């Protein structure tokens, strides 16, 4: 008996969009579950798409894309990758994406996945598009949860990443502290997602986290900024783009006040000014139990 495809709500929404003035749509954000192949087959309808964000959950028995997909105007691709399968399965999925995607205008690539610890998983995408990229974000999603016993001692694969992105200007990632960097001629800004215990607003700068011998490797570097991880649920991996590091000068600061978050941008720091005391007590309690 032939297995029937599971058409979830997101896929049906996408089908509806293809039938209603798709040429006007420039930004798409949707969840992919079992329908990656079928979803990408609908993408050519969106002629002027410039930004695509997909939450990708692919099962081991789900079909992978095989048809060539050319998106002439796509400048930003964000993949939130949820995985509980084998390394080989993840590798096959990203290899299929690299083989089928043609993105001549791509400049910003955001990858949010626990698989970033295995740099080879994303190598196909970085190797194909790396030369054109100006902004790359690599974030492990479980670091967002402050109740998770995250180990900062595990470094991210920055050396192979930067070697495949020779024209990169802006890197946003989480990594161990103090940061260790490979040589790169054009990297201008580095944003580091960190837990609150690493934030020290009195210092007004995150450059102190990078030893002098590391800064020498980056002749174009203008600054290193710490991003408060508690901001991630509000603005996600696009935070460095929404609030760029050059928004404030060496003696400036900007303060925003919203009903859900008080935000402050100082030189080298972007953080929440106030954190709910109840949340802090709960977090400390859970940390002691772990």
pLDDT at 19 over 80: no
How far is the C-alpha of 33 from the C-alpha of 82, rounded, in Å? 10
How far is the C-alpha of 168 from the C-alpha of 146, rounded, in Å? 30
pLDDT at 211 over 70: yes
The better pLDDT of the pair 138, 153 is held by 138
Q: How does pLDDT run across 30-72, given as a tens digit for each residue?
A: 777 667 788 888 888 888 999 999 888 777 777 788 899 999 9
Q: Which of 43-47, 128-132, 282-286 has the lowest mean pLDDT?
A: 282-286
Question: Checking phi first, is residue 180 left (phi over 0); if not, alpha (psi -120 to 50) or beta?
Answer: beta
> Maximum distance among all alpha carbons in the chain?
69
Q: What are the distances in angstroms from CA 72 to CA 5, 86, 122, 127?
A: 29, 33, 22, 19
| Max mean pLDDT range (27-36, 131-140, 201-210) | 131-140
- What is the mean predicted confidence (pLDDT) over 102-121? 82
Tell if the pTM clears 0.85, that is, is over it. Answer: no
Residue for token digits 């969840």?
31
pLDDT at 132 over 90: yes
């Amino acid at each position: 008996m032939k297995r029937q495809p599971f058409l979830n709500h997101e896929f049906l929404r996408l089908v509806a969009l293809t039938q209603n003035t798709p040429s006007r749509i420039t930004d798409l954000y949707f969840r992919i579950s079992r329908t990656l192949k079928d979803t990408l087959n609908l993408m050519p309808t969106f002629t002027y798409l410039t930004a695509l964000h997909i939450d990708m959950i692919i099962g081991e028995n789900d079909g992978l894309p095989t048809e060539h997909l050319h998106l002439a105007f796509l400048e930003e691709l964000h993949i939130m990758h949820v995985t509980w399968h084998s390394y080989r399965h993840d590798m096959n999925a990203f290899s299929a994406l690299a083989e089928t995607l043609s993105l001549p205008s791509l400049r910003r690539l955001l990858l949010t996945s626990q698989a970033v610890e295995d740099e080879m998983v994303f190598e196909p995408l970085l190797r194909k598009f790396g030369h054109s990229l100006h902004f790359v974000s690599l974030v492990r999603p479980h670091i967002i949860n402050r109740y998770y016993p995250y180990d900062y001692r595990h470094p991210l694969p920055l050396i192979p990443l930067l070697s495949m992105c020779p024209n990169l200007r802006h890197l946003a990632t989480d990594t161990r502290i103090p940061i260790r960097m490979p040589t790169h001629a054009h990297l201008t800004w580095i944003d580091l997602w960190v837990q609150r215990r690493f934030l020290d607003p009195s210092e007004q700068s995150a450059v102190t986290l990078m030893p002098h011998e590391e800064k020498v490797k980056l002749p174009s570097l203008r600054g290193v900024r710490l991003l408060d991880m508690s901001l991630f649920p509000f603005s996600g991996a696009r935070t460095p783009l929404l609030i760029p590091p050059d928004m404030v000068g060496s003696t400036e600061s900007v303060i925003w006040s919203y009903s859900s978050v008080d935000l402050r941008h100082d030189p080298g720091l972007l953080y929440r000014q106030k954190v709910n005391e109840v949340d802090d007590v709960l977090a400390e309690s859970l940390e002691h139990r772990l």
